[in-house]
Structure 1
Amino acid sequence: MDTPKNTVSYSYEIKVEEDHIDNLRHVNNVVYLQWVNDISEKHWNVLAINGLKEKYFWVVLRHELDYHNEAFLGDTLRLTTWVGISKGVKSVRYVEIFKEDKLLLKAASTWCLIDAKTLRPTRIKNDILEVLEFE
């Protein structure tokens, strides 16, 4: 999975808790997907300045997750996301999850921009693209 970094990234750390663990005693795959959604939403909330959240929202069209290693109870994980190609109504968002220097997960998700008033897909314009550029 190619993951170009051409936009502002966003990161935070989480600690693996008991409710993240499955019957194999490691983080459940569905939990990773939830984390991908969570960091995507948090990043948009950071980026969505000047009323963008009131004008637009995103819906996911596709997730692609590649699992590389496991995480266990008590592990501290670093989640990082950034947005790749954004054109038309679609944008690709990338997420990586690491435990120290060990890659656990790479994800690419395709999102569609929705106009909050019409509830219809809308083209990604400069007001969105400007907040995605390097700082």
Structure 2
Amino acid sequence: MSSIFELKRIVQSEDIDELNHVNNAIYVKWMDEIAHQHWTVLTENYPLPEYIWVVLRHEIDYVGQAVLNDEVLVKTWIGNTQGFKSERHIEFSKNGTLLVKSKTIYGMLDAITYKPTRIRENVLKVLEPFK
């Protein structure tokens, strides 16, 4: 298994702000979407409906711009995971040039009580190939 999950986005008119580039909020939306898609792939053969992830912190560096019709490559991978927290790294690039990089700290919650729950072996086994 590869340690990096990726997808491509084509910048649409609704992604563009008054400065004629992808709005910062759109990158956050795309971050959420790729994280969800990655988790879906990770758990397709080993469902874990008893847990949900919530964002605790985003660190985002905007270093380049994408404009209408650009193809943006989005890559994500799992970082340090311990306790009830897990890091997810995401990079957005265009033609090999970095546009945005981020590190998000997610917290794992019990899907019924919404209380933090320690990341157990069954979850670590799903995440392990991606660390």
Residue pair 1:84, 1:92 contacting (<8 A) in 2 also = yes
CA–CA distance in structure 1, aligned partners of residues 103 and 57 of structure 2 = 8
Q: TM-score, normalised by structure 2?
A: 0.93
Aligned residue number for residue 18 of structure 2: 23
Unaligned regions of 5+ residues in structure 2, if any?
A: none
Aligned residue number for residue 65 of structure 2: 70
Aligned residue number for residue 122 of structure 2: 127
1:63 corresponds to which letter in structure 2? H
Please, which moves more after superposition, 124-133 or 20-29? 124-133
Aligned residue number for residue 88 of structure 1: 83
Residue pair 1:62, 1:111 contacting (<8 A) in 2 also = yes
1:98 to 70, 93, 96: 93
In the TM superposition, residue 117 of structure 1 has moved relative to its aligned partner by 2.5
In the TM superposition, 1:40-51 aligns within 5 A as 40-48=35-43, 49-51=45-47
Aligned length in residues? 128
Q: TM-score, normalised by structure 1?
A: 0.90
Residue pair 1:56, 1:113 contacting (<8 A) in 2 also = yes
In the TM superposition, residue 116 of structure 1 has moved relative to its aligned partner by 1.2
Give the alignment's Cα RMSD to 1 decimal: 1.3
1:69 corresponds to which letter in structure 2? G
- What stretches of structure 1 move > 2 A for 4+ residues in a row? none
